[in-house]
Amino acid sequence: DAMVIQNPRYQVTQFGKPVTLSCSQTLNHNVMYWYQQKSSQAPKLLFHYYDKDFNNEADTPDNFQSRRPNTSFCFLDIRSPGLGDAAMYLCATSREDRGYEQYFGPGTRLTVT
């Protein structure tokens, strides 16, 4: 089955210790997204890639970076995690950039100690 895969499902890191979350997709979609979701809140878009074009949301902290080495993979790097970065991180894909539904992975639950 075509799907969106996120690894790891659970990640524990120390305050200030860099961490990388990964996402892969077998849907062959052009667009990949990273969202941050805190408990009982709406998913918040951090950035997205349309093919290789990177689009950063205006209020995404500089502490968050992303890489998309090829169509199938996308990474989220948190350079110096703070306690406020503890959240569920969701990766999603869609066929095109506007007006198309997004398909989500299962998420990575990040804990910062």
Partner 1 sequence: EDQVTQSPEALRLQEGESSSLNCSYTVSGLRGLFWYRQDPGKGPEFLFTLYSAGEEKEKERLKATLTKKESFLHITAPKPEDSATYLCAVQAPRDMRFGAGTRLTVKP
Site residues, partner 1 (CB under 8 A): 4, 6, 33, 40-45, 57, 88, 90, 92, 98-107, 109
Query: In the bound complex, what is the minimum distance in angstroms from residue 17's beta carbon to partner 1?
Result: 24
State which residue, 22 or 79, has the beta carbon closest to partner 1: 22
Query: In the bound complex, what is the minimum distance in angstroms from residue 38's beta carbon to partner 1?
Result: 10
State which residue, 80 or 111, has the beta carbon closest to partner 1: 111
State which residue, 43 or 81, has the beta carbon closest to partner 1: 43
Q: How far is CA 32 from CA 48, 79, 81, 96, in A?
A: 6, 20, 22, 10
* Sole residue written with tokens 């902290």: 61
Three-state SS string over 6-17 comes to EECCEEEECCCC
- What is the rounded distance in angstroms from the CA atom of residue 17 to the CA atom of residue 80? 6
State which residue, 35 or 112, has the beta carbon closest to partner 1: 35
Could you tell me the sign of the dihedral formed by the alpha carbons of 66, 73, 109, 37, in that order? positive
Query: In the bound complex, what is the minimum distance in angstroms from residue 63's beta carbon to partner 1?
Result: 21
